[in-house]
A and B are shown apart, each in its own frame.
Chain A
Amino acid sequence: MNINMTLIGQSITFAFFVWFCMKFVWPPIVGALEARKKLIADGLAAADRGKHELELAAKRASETMHDAKIKASEIIAQADKRASQIVEESKGTAKVEGDRIITAAKAEIEQESHRAREALRGDVAALVIAGAGKVLRREVDAKAHADLLEAIKNEL
């Protein structure tokens, strides 16, 4: 309970402790607290920004989707049109082709019938000559009457 040098010793000790605290303890802790505060604030801001960006992106996505839908329906309509066009075109081509085939067939038929007639004509001529030959026997010389026979053949 006596007042003695301890008083001064305590004052010096106290001053030293305060100095040490002020130099080496307080600033780093407060600095760290500030840094963390900033970190948290930044993080929150970033989260907010992210949320905002997400909203924007969703909006953009829905817009894009909408556009795509419109474009798709346009494309489909175009394709439909094109398809019917193609069908029409092919119909036309097919008709032309068919006509051509028919014409060709007709020509061939004509040719064939002509050939057949020719052959038939030749056959008939030969038959007639054979018949006439049989009838006339001697009177008719095939070689002498060739002109006549040819004329008859052409008349058939």
Chain B
Amino acid sequence: MSAEAHTSTEYIKHHLQNLTYGQLPAGYERGDGEMLQESTWTLAHTAREAKDMGFMAINVDTMGFSILLGALFLFLFHRVAKSAATAAAKGAPSGLVNFVEWVVEFIDSSVKGSFTSRNPMVAPLALTIFIWIFLMNLMDLVPIDWLPGLAGALGLPFLKVVPTTDPNATFGMSLAVFALVIYYSIKMKGVGGFVGELTLQPFGKWGMPANLLLEGVNLIAKPVSLALRLFGNMYAGEMIFILIAIMFSGGTVLALTGGVLQWAWAVFHILIITLQAFIFMTLTIVYLDMAHQEHH
């Protein structure tokens, strides 16, 4: 019983560990007991190694899958964009062109609905966020042992296929959005206007410290909530898939139940991944709209 619990724990931990590439210092004892004579750049073989690599390490799987999916998105859309530009006068579009145009129109109407200023960057930003996050989330629907199993066969110790279950990915995006929010706040209102917005309300200039505290929390909460919402949802979804996958090794009845549950959860998850991508996009638009607006 304890052995089984142990393997279950290992299974879960294994699935939650990124494939990390980083530097281990000299004199470090690796997971298999090997002592490093000098500092080495290598793939982490255990969760502890990955942790000990510190900040100067990179999650190869997160980067790899996200770049692959982003490139796929841009490749497809760019191809459609080229063909659409030449075929615009030649009658009805078909197939992929239709789908892409439908997505673009959907994003465009979303942006027009919530973004009141003029900025040619916001709509492409929203499109990138929506499709990219959607594709990264979509990796969650690939049966969770396929790609890690394949990677294991190729000799890689870990592989986490869903980039959005890595807080690095979600925070990476939300911080970029946050930088844009700050940039446009200052660009639109000036440094004084932005600082004034942070310090002079809601209580007027005599309540400055309280104002700064409230507005500061408000400001910081934007990227944090943006990143954590996406990360939390995807992480939880992934975790449930992992837990369901454990049922497959628990006898016929459990395995069958697990199959049904996995199917049901996958169907429900289709909704979640789309919704999360949409929420991230919408909130980005709203935050940027707030950054553009001279209010109070």
Contacts and interface: CB of A to CB of B under 8 A. Distances in A.
A29 B172 contact: no
Residue with the highest number of chain B CB atoms closer than 10 Å, among A15, A22, A29, A30: A29
Interface of A: 1-11, 13-15, 17-18, 20-22, 24-33, 35-36, 39
B74 A17 contact: yes
Contacts of B22: 4
Residue with the highest number of chain A CB atoms closer than 10 Å, among B73, B108, B173: B173
A25 B81 contact: yes
A25 B172 contact: no
A14 B20 CA distance: 20
A9 B127 CA distance: 20
A6 B169 contact: yes
Report whether over half of chain A's contact residues are helix, strand or loop; otherwise say mixed: helix
B265 interface: no
A6 B173 contact: no
30 contacts: A1-B166, A1-B167, A2-B20, A2-B50, A2-B51, A2-B53, A2-B57, A4-B54, A4-B57, A6-B59, A6-B62, A7-B175, A9-B58, A9-B63, A10-B169, A10-B173, A13-B66, A13-B67, A14-B176, A15-B176, A20-B78, A21-B124, A22-B120, A25-B78, A26-B81, A27-B81, A29-B84, A32-B85, A32-B101, A35-B88
B115 interface: no
A116 to B, nearest CB: 106
B41 to A, nearest CB: 12
Residue with the highest number of chain B CB atoms closer than 10 Å, among A18, A20, A27: A18
Contacts of A35: 88-89
A32 B108 CA distance: 14
B128 interface: yes
Interface in B17-74: 17-18, 20, 22, 50-51, 53-59, 62-63, 66-67, 70, 73-74
B227 to A, nearest CB: 10
A10 to B, nearest CB: 3
B82 interface: yes
Contacts of A13: 63, 66-67, 70, 172
Contact of A6 (B93, B125, B128, B166): B166
Interface in B145-178: 163, 166-169, 171-173, 175-176
